[in-house]
Amino acid sequence: MHNAGNLRKLGVNMENSDFVIALAGNPNTGKSTVFNALTGLRQHTGNWPGKTVARAEGAFSYGDKQYKIVDLPGTYSLLSTSLDEEVARDFILFGQPDVTVIVVDATRLERNLNLVLQVLEITDRAVVCLNLIDEARRHKLQVDERRLARDLGVPVVPTAARQGEGLQDLLQAIHEVATGQTVGKPYRAKSESPAIKQALARLVPQIEAAFPGLPNARWVALRLLDGDERLMQAVRQGELGDLTRPELVMLPEAAANNRLIPLEVVS
Ligand SMILES: Nc1nc2c(ncn2[C@@H]2O[C@H](COP(=O)(O)OP(=O)(O)O)[C@@H](O)[C@H]2O)c(=O)[nH]1
Ligand SMILES: [Mg+2]
């Protein structure tokens, strides 16, 4: 479930919406085309709060639910080494969108899967939009989307967004993930060294205790071990939790919980 408090800080007002969708993808995969096809005229553009990065936000309804959709900057990764990557990562990490749609280029699948796997480390609420499927066909490339969905552990929907092909299936997949009818079991690589394994064994339970229900404690722990300043700040300030639940903000136990995180493990 999305984090309305953090979303407000990220410039998204959820008052009249049931769900918020993030649209991620490498540049030139057809993200904006998908965005336009889903929202039509119900969209507006601006900047991310406090940043000079352009942002498009739109709305649509489907199956009696109101959706907001945010077009994230096109990126090849989420390591937050550029402003675009930071904006995209922060939105998925702190906004906790109900669904993250990752638009990939079916003709350049291998390169695109890098971002898919990074998104799947942060959230299990994802749908892969396998776009430019017409181009793939033209190049006699066949993608086994069922196999891909099984291997990734999230729905994969082939589309040719410019022609409107597959968009109904995409909407249906988004709806099923948003409403919890489909629950992802994302593929997550595990190939850490014994030392990292040991550190994770200490750190992960403490992160889970401080932030119950966090879908990505292992990833957060790995980023902390990597010395990620932004995540350390987020842990200290309780940003990863559900700020919409007042008891977690108010209760001193919440603050006390945060102090459980042994930052000496991190340095
Ligand atoms: N053939 C084909 N072209 C597409 C498709 N989707 C988008 N495009 C084109 O690909 C280019 C990049 O699309 P755009 O939506 O701007 O990509 P973005 O950078 O990811 O936002 C544009 O010329 C689109 O018209 C598709 O499914 N098939
Ligand atoms: Mg675009």
**Is residue 262 pLDDT above 90, yes or no?**
no
Q: Tell me how far the alpha carbon of residue 180 lies from the centroid of ligand 2, in angstroms.
A: 28
- The ligand minimizing its distance to the Cα of 75 is 1
**Residues in the 5 Å CB sphere of ion ligand 2:** 31-32
How far is residue 226's CA from residue 180's CA, in Å, rounded to a whole number?
A: 32
The residues near 78 (Cβ < 8 Å, ≥ 6 apart) are: 85, 88, 89, 92, 115, 118, 119, 122
Q: Is the CB of 25 under 6 A from ligand 1?
A: yes
User: Tokens 């553009």 appear where?
Assistant: 45
**Whose alpha carbon is nearest atom 8 of ligand 1?**
30
**Whose alpha carbon is nearest atom 24 of ligand 1?**
30
The residue-averaged pLDDT of 226-245 equals: 77
CB 106, CB 135: distance < 8 Å? yes
- The pLDDT of residue 188 is 85
- The pLDDT of residue 258 is 44
Per the prediction, the chain carries an average pLDDT of 88
- The pLDDT of residue 103 is 98
Please give the helix or strand (H or E) that residue 130 lies within, else none: strand 126-131
Q: Is the CB of 132 under 6 A from ligand 1?
A: yes
Coil, strand, or helix at residue 30?
coil
Please give the helix or strand (H or E) that residue 157 lies within, else none: strand 156-158
The residue-averaged pLDDT of 182-189 equals: 90
CB 52, CB 130: distance < 8 Å? no
Predicted confidence (pLDDT) per residue in 197-234, tens digit: 999 999 999 999 988 878 888 989 998 998 888 889 88
The residue-averaged pLDDT of 85-98 equals: 93
**Whose alpha carbon is nearest atom 19 of ligand 1?**
28
**More reliable by pLDDT, 256 or 179:** 179
Q: Is the CB of 27 under 6 A from ligand 1?
A: yes
Ligand 1 test: best mutation among 23, 28, 32, 33, most atoms within 8 Å of CB? 33
